[in-house]
């Protein structure tokens, strides 16, 4: 007799347990269906972009935006209604600096991480003293940023390097923001008598169209990859795109040689600090023979240039770093940190 009753009560127990589990799952999903058009799966991080950088109209952000950059479980949104629930909120400095946008300090949920974002150099960054003790994380080109997003990097790549473009000029410089106070302008003025330099760009009323930039630069042996100002880790597309992608040798003015060597092989560029005088630098460039010139391109046998071009990709990096980001950190002196 007991051999029949025991299995029956077991079956009853399993039926109850199964029903309870279904109800629990349904209750868990319920709030997500109410939230927006597309339910956000549990475990997905929501990154709220308070103001899209530089433009008033933000781009479309399909739900698979970050997955396309290899970052799953990450949703970017510009919907400010998500302030109460976002896992992090992103503020791009330019719009704070020119007061196109304000920080929603009064509505900030307790403990919500706020991310300060800027890819500009400290020289062209103003008003940081208004933002002391507010931000938890920094996204910038500085290597010691919480979310480190360089302008580019070298990545191992397969297959033979493309042939070097044919050269018929010595040195070229593309510049739009040209001021006598800039170190790069002083250096150019000293170099020009000893080195033939063709200058393109707004500064010289010889702008290059987007598709003309690389083919034009490629015809020269050297590109003056002079940063507009010299700061910690401030290395921009002037190195990655204008010089390395074009297939020319960068002559760099920026942070010290050691910083460049942290990103590219030591024999991939000429650093202006390697010379005791500008005249010496010019003589070195003009006198370089073909064997020595070609040795600057050894990196191309193993690496390709990878640039980080879109804001979507940069913001998705927040999710990739999220598990490792410090929870209780506040930049009490953002200005002091960034301006050093
Ligand atoms: C913004 O989010 C809120 C809350 O989830 C939602 O009700 C609203 O439809 C969203 N707005 C847009 C434009 O997607
Ligand atoms: C610069 O000057 C120092 C000391 O005078 C000398 O040892 C060094 O070789 C010079 N560098 C170059 C690149 O000529
Ligand atoms: C090219 O220049 C390098 C460095 O100055 C020198 O060592 C080499 O002998 C030169 N090669 C030729 C073929 O002139």
Task: Using the Cα atoms of residue 238, residue 61, residue 58 and residue 338 in order, give the sign of their dihedral.
Answer: negative
Between the CA of 42 and the centroid of ligand 2 the distance, in Å, is 62
* pLDDT for the residue 16: 56
* pLDDT for the residue 155: 96
Tell the residue number behind the tokens 């700061």, with chain if given.
Answer: 231
Task: Annotate 87-109 with b (16+ C-beta within 10 A) or e (fewer).
Answer: bbbbbbbbbbbeeeeebeeeeee
Among 149-153, 203-207, 313-317, the minimum mean pLDDT is found in 203-207
Report the mean per-residue pLDDT for the chain.
Answer: 90
For residue 65, CA distances in Å to 62, 281, 316, 320 come to: 5, 46, 8, 13
**pLDDT per residue as tens digits for the range 199-246:** 999 888 999 998 999 999 999 999 999 999 999 999 999 999 999 999
φ, ψ (nearest 5 deg) of residue 133:
70, 25
Ligand 2 atom 8: the closest Cα is on which residue? 276
| Closest ligand (CA of 288) | 3
At residue 14 the predicted structure's pLDDT band, cuts being 50, 70 and 90, is: low
Q: Is the pLDDT of residue 18 over 80?
A: no
Between the CA of 198 and the centroid of ligand 3 the distance, in Å, is 26
User: What element of type H or E holds 312?
Assistant: helix 311-321
* pLDDT for the residue 20: 53
Between the CA of 134 and the centroid of ligand 3 the distance, in Å, is 57
Ligand 1: does its nearest atom lie under 6 Å from the Cβ of 36? Answer: yes
Ligand 3 pocket, CB under 6 A? 289, 291-292
Q: How many CB atoms lie within 10 A of CB 114?
A: 22
Q: Which atom of ligand 1 is nearest to the CA of 80?
A: 1
φ, ψ (nearest 5 deg) of residue 293:
-60, -45
Ligand 2: does its nearest atom lie under 6 Å from the Cβ of 275? Answer: yes
Would you mind telling me the total number of residues written for the chain in this entry? 340
* pLDDT for the residue 3: 43
Ligand 2: does its nearest atom lie under 6 Å from the Cβ of 273? Answer: no
Ligand 1: does its nearest atom lie under 6 Å from the Cβ of 39? Answer: no
What is the rounded CA–CA span in Å between residue 274 and residue 91?
39
Three-state secondary structure string covering 191-235: HCCCCCEEEEEHHHCECCCCCCHHHHHHCEEEEEEECCCCCCCCC
* pLDDT for the residue 31: 44
Q: Is the pLDDT of residue 32 over 60?
A: no
| Catalytic-labelled residue, pool 120, 155, 290, 313 | 120
Ligand 1: does its nearest atom lie under 6 Å from the Cβ of 79? Answer: yes
- Pick from 234, 257, 94, 236: which is nearest to 174 by CA? 236
Which residue of 79, 83, 85, 86 sits with most ligand 1 atoms within 8 Å of its CB, as the best mutation to test the pocket? 79
* pLDDT for the residue 11: 53
Ligand 2: does its nearest atom lie under 6 Å from the Cβ of 280? Answer: yes
Instruction: Specify whether 120 is catalytic.
Output: yes
What is the rounded CA–CA span in Å between residue 15 and residue 182?
77
DSSP string for 170-198 = EEEEE-SS--TTSHHHHHHHHHTTTS-EE
For residue 70, CA distances in Å to 64, 164, 313 come to: 10, 32, 9
Domain assignments of the chain as residue spans, ordered by start = 45-149+310-338, 153-307
Q: Which CATH superfamily does the domain covering 153-307 fall into?
A: Glycosyl transferase family 10, C-terminal domain (3.40.50.11660)
Q: Is the pLDDT of residue 318 over 80?
A: yes
């Amino acid at each position: 007799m007991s051999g029949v009753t025991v299995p029956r009560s077991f079956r009853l127990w399993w039926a109850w347990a199964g029903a309870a589990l279904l109800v629990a799952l349904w209750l868990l999903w319920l709030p997500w269906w109410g939230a927006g058009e597309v339910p956000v799966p549990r475990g997905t991080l929501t990154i709220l972009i308070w103001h899209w950088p530089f433009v008033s109209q933000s781009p479309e952000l399909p739900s698979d935006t970050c997955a396309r950059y290899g970052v799953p479980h990450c949703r970017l949104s510009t919907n400010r209604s998500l302030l109460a629930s976002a896992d992090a909120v992103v503020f791009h400095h330019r719009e704070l600096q020119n007061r196109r946008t304000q920080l929603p300090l009064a509505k900030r949920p307790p403990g919500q991480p706020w991310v300060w974002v800027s890819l500009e150099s400290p020289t062209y960054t103003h008003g940081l003293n208004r933002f002391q003790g507010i931000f938890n994380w920094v996204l910038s080109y500085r290597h010691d940023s919480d979310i480190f997003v360089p302008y580019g990097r070298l990545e191992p790549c397969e297959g033979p390097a493309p042939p070097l473009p044919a050269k018929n000029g010595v040195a070229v410089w593309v510049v739009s923001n040209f001021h006598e106070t800039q170190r790069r302008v002083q250096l150019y003025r000293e170099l020009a008598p000893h080195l033939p330099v063709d200058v393109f760009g707004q500064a010289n009323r010889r702008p290059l169209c987007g598709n003309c930039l690389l083919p034009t630069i490629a015809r020269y042996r050297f590109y003056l990859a002079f940063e507009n100002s010299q700061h910690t880790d401030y290395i921009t597309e002037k190195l990655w795109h204008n010089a390395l992608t074009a297939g020319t040798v960068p002559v760099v003015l920026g942070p010290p040689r050691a910083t460049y060597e942290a990103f590219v092989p030591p024999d991939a560029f000429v650093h202006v600090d390697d010379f005791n005088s500008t005249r010496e630098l010019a003589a070195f460039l003009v006198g370089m023979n073909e064997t020595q010139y070609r040795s600057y391109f050894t990196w191309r046998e193993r690496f390709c240039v990878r640039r980080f071009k879109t804001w979507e990709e940069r913001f998705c990096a927040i999710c990739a770093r999220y598990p490792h980001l410090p929870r209780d950190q506040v930049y009490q002196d953002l200005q002091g940190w960034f301006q050093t």
